[in-house]
Chains A and B, each alone.
Chain A
Amino acid sequence: MTTDLATCPNCNAALSSALLNQPDFAPCPSCGKPVQVEVFPALFQPVRPGQTGEQLLIETEASCFYHPQKRAVLPCDGCGRFLCALCDCELAGQHLCPTCLETGKRKGKLKNLQNQRTLYDGIALGLAAFPLIIPFFTIITAPMALFVALRHWKSPGSLVRRSKVRFVVAIVLALAQLIGWGVLAFYLITEMRRNG
């Protein structure tokens, strides 16, 4: 933890204003390490106090769905319920109630709240490609790769990578491995039959 506004990332010593927003590195006066610090106005903004919501003064006024004694300030963009200032959660321009926020996060509808995603295309490709080092395992892993690729073809993948090329490569590799096993089985059976 630090209490200084602009500090050296190496020694945590406070930096003077002469060292801030410089175009090149400048040595830290405390540790001597070359540092460059870009400062923006958010550094000096005080933390905004949280809203608590106004008390309802007149009976006929609209009240919050979650706090009937507090005055509603706006409706939820997700469910339309009236919300007080305490329950209003703003996210990417939307005003949502805590329930909609929780549901949106759980169901993956609010992408700005998603902190993790499973890359099924990577898993399918790994299952199809890595066992090629020891090909005996492909009899188990090829069907698994095929299953993962087909089952999760439409599952949400990476937020930043949009191509399905890994799925396609995984399916092609898995099919090739399965065809290879089929050919081998056919060859062995015909050989066994020929030898009596």
Chain B
Amino acid sequence: MAERDYQRLTRARTRRTGMRAAFATRSSLWLGTDHLLCVDSTGYSETYRRFYFRDIQTITLIASKRRATWNWVLGVAMGFCLIWCANYFFRSADFQLGDSIFVSGVVSAFALPLLINNLLGPTCVCHVRTAVQVEELPSLCRVRRTRKVLDRLRPLIVAAQGQLTPEEIERKLAEPLSEPPVIVRNSASQMAKPPQPYQGPFHHALCWLLIADLPLTALALAMKPGAMDTISVIQFALTVVFAIVCLAKQHDTDLSPELRRLPWLVLGISAVFLFAGIIYAGIYSATHSGAGRDELAPQNNPVMLVMAAASTCVSLVLGVTGLFGLRRFRLARGGAAAPPPALPNKG
């Protein structure tokens, strides 16, 4: 087959198969004369997977919550930006053109991805199945795009295999299987490796670190500015480190999805608050010449006070929810693993 015969079907998207691959591997879909080509590229090498039209058994789409998740992340970040902008606008006496350009730049850094995320439409996960494999197609992650690709693929697959009527499907599904098919799942979410029982105190420690944010913040507010800075930084760094360790430890384990989300939430929220704090501090220092470090302390600055209070509340909620989740998870697993009750001795 001539190399030029491939036509691009989708742009490259990240393949979610572990931490390293998520950053490094991008997957795209190309149409060949008799097959579909999935190209995984790291920028320095490419891996190819071919799905011949005559071999494709099913193409499945499942709706995902990725768009909603990104809406939340970007929406919260943009909300903080808008609060800061409103505060900046009402406080500064001479709001000039340069300021408005800067402010709109900061807001659009979140607003633009938010708009694009919604314009692209709902998200989904697409799998293609052949006689020997089930493979996820990461580049087909939007419903609208996936349906367009499906509309293009369907006639080619039908030309290679023929058409199935609804009656035929019903009849063939009713027929008993002479030989069960053996399918290897290659998708990231459904690897054949069985999950290991989760053990370890890291999620527990993360929850207590989150809860510890409340007394530490209260203490910091009660004391003079800067007195608790070192302890707060250590607590924040420990929280981030424990969240990363939790992510590594929960990989391929039977931990419940709610608890799996906890480290991601902690990292995401920490990043948002840190980013918001840095931006605010930078702008404040730039606009208030000669401003000291104490002016940015929560005791003296209402914006920083609101941010500290919000961060502490979120940490507390996450910590308490996590502890309850862990308790539920351990009870459920203990119940499942417990031996059956002994029969009453009738003798």
Contacts and interface: CB of A to CB of B under 8 A. Distances in A.
A1 to B, nearest CB: 6
Contact of B39 (A2, A3, A17, A160): A160
B3 A162 contact: yes
A191 interface: no
A40 B177 contact: no
Contacts of A122: 43-44
A112 interface: yes
A123 B6 contact: no
A20 B169 CA distance: 8
Nearest to A27: B63
A169 to B, nearest CB: 14
B169 A17 contact: yes
Contacts of B173: 5-6, 16-17
Contacts of A44: 172
B164 A35 contact: no
Contacts of A42: 54-57, 130-131, 161
B45 interface: yes
Contact of A38 (B34, B39, B150, B162): B150
A51 interface: no
A116 B45 contact: yes
B131 A38 contact: no
Contacts of B4: 162
A39 B164 contact: yes
Interface in B178-220: 178-185, 190, 192
A9 B85 CA distance: 45
Interface string B12-53: 000000000000000010100010010101011111111000
A43 B57 CA distance: 4
Nearest to B39: A160
Contacts of B192: 1
Contacts of A40: 56-58, 157-158, 161, 164
A6 to B, nearest CB: 6
Nearest to A33: B62
B211 to A, nearest CB: 33
A190 interface: no
Contacts of B134: 9
Nearest to B181: A3
Interface residues of B, number: 59
A162 B4 CA distance: 8
B57 A92 contact: no
Given A119-B41, A123-B44, A160 B166 contact: no
A158 B131 CA distance: 28
A123 B42 CA distance: 11
A139 B40 CA distance: 32
- Most central of A16, A25, A33, A36 by chain B CB within 10 Å: A36
Interface in B117-176: 125, 127, 129-131, 134, 150, 154, 157-158, 161-164, 166, 169-170, 172-173
Contacts of A33: 62-63
A119 B44 contact: yes
A159 interface: yes
B1 interface: yes
Interface string A149-178: 000000000111010000000000000000
Nearest to A20: B169
A52 interface: no
A34 B162 contact: no
Nearest to B143: A25
Interface string A42-58: 11101100000000000
27 contacts: A3-B177, A5-B173, A6-B173, A9-B127, A25-B63, A33-B63, A36-B61, A38-B60, A38-B154, A39-B164, A39-B169, A40-B57, A40-B157, A41-B163, A42-B131, A42-B161, A43-B57, A44-B172, A115-B48, A115-B49, A116-B47, A117-B48, A118-B44, A119-B44, A122-B44, A159-B3, A160-B30
Given A40-B56, A158-B41, A162-B4, 13 more contacts: A5-B181, A21-B166, A21-B169, A36-B61, A37-B59, A38-B60, A40-B57, A40-B164, A41-B164, A43-B58, A112-B50, A159-B3, A159-B48
The 5 closest A-B pairs by CB, nearest first: A3-B180, A43-B57, A34-B63, A17-B170, A36-B61
